[in-house]
Every structure is written in structure tokens, then in C-alpha cells.
Structure 1
Amino acid sequence: MNSATETAVGEVFEEMPQEKRARTDAGDEDPPWSSWAGLQPDALGVVLSFLPCLADRARVRSVCRQWRAAARGRGVAPPLPLLVLPRFRFAGLTPGGVLAPARRAWMPPELDADNAYCVGSSDAWLMGAAGPAGGECFLVHAFSHEVRRLPPFGTSDCSLRKAVLSASPESGPNSIVAAFIIRRSKPELALWRSGMKSWRVCRHALLAGHVDIAFYQGKLYMLWRFMPCLFSFELGEDERGVTVSHMKDFMIEKLLPSTLGLYHELSCNMVEWSGRLLLIIRYYGGYQPRSRVKVKVFAVDLSTYPVGLAEIRSFGSDCIFLGSGGGKTFPAGQHGGVEGNLIYFGPDHYNSHEAFVYSMRDGMTGPIVQPLPCGTRASERKIGFPVWLFPSE
């Protein structure tokens, strides 16, 4: 990466490139034109509260050492999500609800960024792989660049499709990684936690080729993408580490309303919102992206038998982001002028042509950006699809 590109990336995602930051922290004097260095930290916190984009906050922190020190830990709302594209390119969401142009971020050279792809995230951590199928697996912090190696899958015919984490890797051994893989053309669930020397692989007849997976209240849930079948996995421990101790089928497909009129195809996702597990179903009609799409959202009550389903018609000021690597709720209402009650559907392995935003208020859809700055070209489709990232500051 040339110095001009590195500087641009540093301004947006790291305050400044690492070498320059090291020189500054080592005692270089701030330039004489930094007359704003004496701005009170409380005033700077107010400024940051009006900047929901991570790129804008990074530019504020890059002004001088005083601003960088004062900006940290100001208690402002988290910045808007980022979309991590193949080869570690980052596109930030703007207050207008569209994605800014993507820029490539600096990553440790040992990750082979040109061939790396991401399959999940937890806070500012990304789960990814690089090299041939079944090669290097890793967790990397998108901003501190700390790397934690995971065991390889060990075969050349393995495709890592999706991964979720039960908690941030910083929580220690309590963080479990659940990865959905395709090996020898068959779907498998692989589990790993710190201290295990290899993945624990679960093979079961109910594992389908197209699934969404998520941790919720201490259990791992799996949802078939094109048929609303929901399963839970209770996780336990044995001498080899974490394992599946029990699996349950909730048979929710029998409780849902039938497809609506001309809507003859569907796609399912799940996400946690306000302490509840939500089932999000897209009903399609027609053959064009977003053509005649209708979205239904149900809260799943897992405490009853059969399970209860309650339709959700509004998220209030919250937004939901879905895509490859799972979904997450974002408190958009904490930022003035940022619209809430929206669902952002990102492209994934199963709907690579499609990315749009859906309004829960009126059922209208719109593009996230035209054209979507993501790796959907044939040359990049082999190295994954975008993953949403939710930095905390």
C-alpha cells in the first residue's frame, strides 16, 4: 500500500498511520497551527456527539495529541456501523442511511489481506480466514490490529461460510466461536473456544446448506434460510472442550402465516432485539431484487410449547442490520437526525445480488447505495461477502 493510501486509511479508521502515531506519541511537538489544542474535553465530547460516523470522529482525534486523549472515553453514543468488504475494505454508514465510498484499511501483513475474507464480527473483532480453503483462521481487532490465531480446519475442500461469537474475545474462555462450514459438499457445525487445539465438529441430518446462526441466552440457535425451521443447541463441556449436548426442534414453520398471495419465495434471518429473539422473513414476488418484497417480523417466545409468535410492527428508534455473519440491533435514536425503525439487508452468500434498506413504517424499500461498493464481482465472490462491524467508539 502506498503512503498516500495509508494516510487516507489512517485518517478514517486509525486516527493516523501507525508510524506517524508512534512518532507523535514519542514526543513530537504539535504543529504551530494547532491553536484548538486547548479546547475543553467536555466541549470536545459535545462535538463528537454530533458526529455519528466513525470516519469523522477519527479525523477529530487526528488533529493533535490533546484531542486524541480527550476524545477517548467521552461516553458518546457508538458510531454508525461499518460494512467490511473483501480484502479488508471498509465502508461507513452515513447519517443519510447510505454507505460512503469504501477504503482499504491497514491490516497486519501476516493476515494475507489480499486473500482474506470475513465471516462474522463481535464488537470491533472480525472472524476471518485466508489462504486456501481450510487454511488460516483468525480473529483480528479492526482497530488495534491484535490477531488471535484459531486452529485450521485441516482439509482443502472446506468452505467457511459464517461464524458467530458468544461474546467478545476479550472476555476470555467464556467466548465460544460457532462456525458454519461446508466440507466435502456437506454442511457442518464447528465449535471452538480458547484452549482447544482443534475445532469440535458436529454432523447432523438437520444441518442444512443455507442457515443463519446466532447465540441467544446461552444457547446456539440455527435457522434454515429458505424454510422457517428453528433449532437450538445446548452446549456442554467434556475432556475435549465445548460440545453439543442437546438439540431441539421448535417446529415454528407450522405456526407462521402462509405466504402472502403472489409472494412465493422467502428468506429468513434471526436477531436479538430488546432481549427477545426475532424471526425476520422476507416474502418475494418477481425476479428482480427488492421486487414485490414484504417483510414480516415475529418475536419468538421460547418459554411455551408450542412456542409463541408475536408480530412486531416497529423497532421504535432502533435499526437492525442483517447480512453475512449474522445480524445486530443498533440504537440509531441516540444520534440526532439518524433515522430509526429500519432494517438493513446486506448481501451474503445466498443473496449476493441484493442489498437494500426496508422501512417498518411504510413497507418501502430503498438502496443502501448505488452501486453497492462490495465484492460481488466473480473474482471477489470466492473470498466472501460483506460483514457488518459495530465499533464501540
Structure 2
Amino acid sequence: MDANLDWSSLLPDVLRVIARKLPTIKDYIRFRAVCRSWCGAASITGQLVPREFPWLMFPLSDCAPSLRFLNPQTNDLIYAGSKEEPAALRVVGSSFGWLILLGKCSSIFLLNPLTLAKIELPQLFWRSPGWHYISTERICLSHSPSEDSNFVALAILGYPGGILYLKNGDSWWRNVYREANSEGSTVFVDAVYFRGKICAIDGQGSLTVFELSSDHESCSLWNCRQFFPPLNGSMRCLADVMDDLVLISLHFVPDLWTNSVSMFRFDWMGRKWDKLDDLKGRCLFLSEGACSSFSLPSNRALGCEENTIYFIYSRVNRCEINDELYGLARNDVSRDKDYHVAAYSSDSKVTKPLPFYVPTPYQPLWFTPRLC
């Protein structure tokens, strides 16, 4: 081979053929970093970017201040984002390839850790007498900021409950109950933006729908009080599945590897939940206590199985875990729990662990890697 060959002069068509065969996003990023011509041939849009299995993100800490991700199917660890991001930041959500980060004094911003694109949002207060401090549990987005800058952000609050929302470009967050002229407040376990509505469920599965006005400056609310039997340790999540609002109730017993999984589709005409048998060929990704649940077509990401729910669950720590495996330190967290990833098939009704994922005491959340 000619040692003097100028690799930067390869024809764009040849470079695109090479880029199309790259198996992972990490390889794709490295390919684009070689030189200007290689970067130009490997577009971040279209069909060239590898469709990878969703990653798991581990929390920031003093001992590991950089962003750490894991492909749970290959056990490949990825470090991304700016290493200067302070450990004081708390990740409160993951939506469409963007992380939602909460800093000091309720400052909040969105970050794409692969491109380092950043969007700052107003502080988490709502406009009312006294300007209340906010206890934020989770935040999610209506759609990707890369696709449409007019996205809506939802913040699920801790005690005494409620939801704040904000359309990008607004100067402050709005309280859904205040905008609906209601004195009520509920502690919600999950919420999604669906067809111009904010849909939220409480611990019993009761649905509250906030209908937003066209300018998002006011809303009205109604309830579907179709309660479900409470299950100890159950996970209840909302998701948009093929333009249907779907409720998943999952109760998992780790030692027995048994599940009680119920799936419901909301009937908007009758305002009630109907039983759902399968996921229409899609797969769901659920996180325990984290607003990062989403659905994907099974062919969208490598290794996804159709009609399968991939979920993160915790259990009492009963075994010794390698703390250094994911670049984390023993004193990062308490040792009373470890976190696992499993897959439940709605076709076979069987739950199985992901073969390459090793349990850790650090609660991860799902992240869909995107370059745009």
C-alpha cells in the first residue's frame, strides 16, 4: 500500500459506502472526525447514521463528572459530552437524544451529549405571588428540538404535586392547575405530551388530561377515574405507541422471574382504557422513576425485538458487584440496591435478562443516541 496515499482525497461516493457500513454511532463519530471531506461525506441526517440499540446513561457524580453511557447489548462503554460539566448537575430526563439537566438555583438546560448542542430554558419557577421554589422529579419534551424549535417541556413536580409546562421561547413556566383555574393538585407518577394535550397518571392509574389552548397559554382539564388495583412495587408508564396513548402497568418479581404486565390503550371517544394485547410490532423502553420512557419501531434499532418491553428495575443488593466496571467509584451511592435490565415479550409472556448487561448500584436511564 502506498504510504503517501492521501486518504482525504477519496471520492465522496466511496466515503459514503464506507460510512454506511459502520456498525455503531461511536464509529460514525470517529469517521467524521478524520478530516473535513470525511465529515462532509458522512451526513448526520438521512439513512447513513447507524440505528443503534438505546444506551443507558449513568448519573453524574463527584468521582465521575463526565457523561457515561453504555450499550447494554454489547457492554460497550461510551464517554461523551463536555468533561467540564459540573457534578452538581442532576439529570432529570432524557427525550429524543437530549438530556435535561437541572443545576443550581433551579437553572435548567438541554444538552445533546454527542454534538454538544445546548439549549437554555428559564429557571424552574412559575409566575405567581411569591415565586415558589420547585421540587422537580422529572422533565420530558414533546418532540425533538432538532426537528422543531416550538417544543413543549413538561416538569413533573414532587410533593405537593402538579405539573409545570413551558413552550420554548416562553419566559416562565406555567402551572397546569392554575392555567385551568383549578385549586387541585396531584402527585403524578408519569406524564406525556400527546396530540396537544398533557396526559398524566397517578399511582393508581387515574388519568388526568390537560387540554392546551392553541397558544399554550391556558388549558382545561378532565379526569378518567378508572382506577386499577394497586400493586406493590409496580411501574406505571405512559407512552405514545403508533399514535395511541398507552398505559403500561408492570409488576416484576426478580427472584422468581415472573411478571404481571398489563397494557391498555386509551379510547378517546369513550374516555376509558381498553385492554391491549400487543405493541403493534414496536418495542418499549421503560425506566423506573425516570421520565425517559418511549417506544420505537423494532427495525429502528439494531437488536430490538418486536412486541418487547425493555425495562430497568431495582432489587435488594445480594451479590458483590464490580464497582469499577463502568468507571464508577464505590462511595458514589449507597449499596442497598442494584439495577438490572430485562426484556419482556408480550408474545411469549416471558421475561429474560439482557445477556451482556452487568448489574450496578447506579440507577441508569434510557437514552436514544442522535446526531441531529
- Normalised by the shorter chain, which TM-score bucket? 0.7 to 0.9
Structure 2 CA distance, aligned partners of 1:86 and 1:387?
A: 12
Alignment of 1:223-242 (within 5 A): 223-224=201-202, 226-236=203-213, 242=216
Structure 2 CA distance, aligned partners of 1:339 and 1:36?
A: 39
The answer to whether the Cα contact below 8 Å between 2:338 and 2:359 also exists between their aligned partners in 1 is: no
Residue 358 of structure 2 aligns with which residue? 371
Corresponding position: 1:90 with 2:68: yes
SS of the residue corresponding to residue 43 of structure 1 reads helix
What is the Cα-based RMSD across aligned positions, in Å?
A: 3.4
The answer to whether the Cα contact below 8 Å between 1:290 and 1:354 also exists between their aligned partners in 2 is: no
What do residues 266-309 of structure 1 show as CA deviations (whole Å, max 9, x unaligned)?
A: 3211111111111111134x5x477422222222221x224251
1:367 counterpart letter in structure 2: P
1:168 to 131, 144, 150: 144
Corresponding position: 1:275 with 2:246: no
TM-score with structure 2 setting the length: 0.74
TM-aligned CA deviation for residue 34 of structure 1: 6.4
Residue 7 of structure 1 aligns with which residue? none
SS of the residue corresponding to residue 293 of structure 2 reads strand
1:247 counterpart letter in structure 2: L
Corresponding position: 1:179 with 2:155: yes
The answer to whether the Cα contact below 8 Å between 2:192 and 2:199 also exists between their aligned partners in 1 is: yes
Residue 122 of structure 1 aligns with which residue? 95
Structure 1 CA distance, aligned partners of 2:255 and 2:174?
A: 38
2:347 counterpart letter in structure 1: R
Deviates more, 1:321-330 or 1:351-360: 351-360
2:26 counterpart letter in structure 1: A
The answer to whether the Cα contact below 8 Å between 1:121 and 1:164 also exists between their aligned partners in 2 is: yes
1:104 counterpart letter in structure 2: Y
TM-aligned CA deviation for residue 233 of structure 1: 0.6
Structure 2 CA distance, aligned partners of 1:346 and 1:114?
A: 23
The answer to whether the Cα contact below 8 Å between 1:92 and 1:100 also exists between their aligned partners in 2 is: yes
The answer to whether the Cα contact below 8 Å between 2:8 and 2:37 also exists between their aligned partners in 1 is: no
Residue 104 of structure 1 aligns with which residue? 79
The answer to whether the Cα contact below 8 Å between 1:85 and 1:387 also exists between their aligned partners in 2 is: no
TM-aligned CA deviation for residue 234 of structure 1: 1.0
The answer to whether the Cα contact below 8 Å between 1:172 and 1:194 also exists between their aligned partners in 2 is: no
Corresponding position: 1:389 with 2:361: no
TM-score with structure 1 setting the length: 0.70
2:92 counterpart letter in structure 1: V
2:249 counterpart letter in structure 1: I
Corresponding position: 1:329 with 2:295: yes
Structure 2 CA distance, aligned partners of 1:79 and 1:336?
A: 5
TM-aligned CA deviation for residue 214 of structure 1: 0.4
Gaps of 5+ in 1: 1-30, 377-384
Distance 1:232 1:290, change over 3 A: farther
SS of the residue corresponding to residue 99 of structure 2 reads strand
SS of the residue corresponding to residue 280 of structure 1 reads strand
The answer to whether the Cα contact below 8 Å between 2:339 and 2:360 also exists between their aligned partners in 1 is: no
Distance 1:289 1:170, change over 3 A: farther
The answer to whether the Cα contact below 8 Å between 1:270 and 1:277 also exists between their aligned partners in 2 is: yes
Residue 78 of structure 1 aligns with which residue? 51
Residue 297 of structure 1 aligns with which residue? 263
2:31 to 48, 60, 66: 60
TM-aligned CA deviation for residue 100 of structure 1: 2.7
The answer to whether the Cα contact below 8 Å between 2:137 and 2:155 also exists between their aligned partners in 1 is: yes
Distance 1:174 1:352, change over 3 A: farther
2:52 counterpart letter in structure 1: P
Structure 1 CA distance, aligned partners of 2:244 and 2:124?
A: 33
Structure 1 CA distance, aligned partners of 2:174 and 2:353?
A: 40
TM-aligned CA deviation for residue 37 of structure 1: 6.0
SS of the residue corresponding to residue 83 of structure 1 reads strand
The answer to whether the Cα contact below 8 Å between 2:97 and 2:368 also exists between their aligned partners in 1 is: yes
1:84 counterpart letter in structure 2: M
2:278 to 313, 334, 347: 313
Structure 1 CA distance, aligned partners of 2:149 and 2:132?
A: 29
TM-aligned CA deviation for residue 70 of structure 1: 1.5
Aligned length: 327
1:116 counterpart letter in structure 2: L
2:106 to 120, 132, 135: 135
SS of the residue corresponding to residue 113 of structure 1 reads coil
Residue 145 of structure 1 aligns with which residue? 116
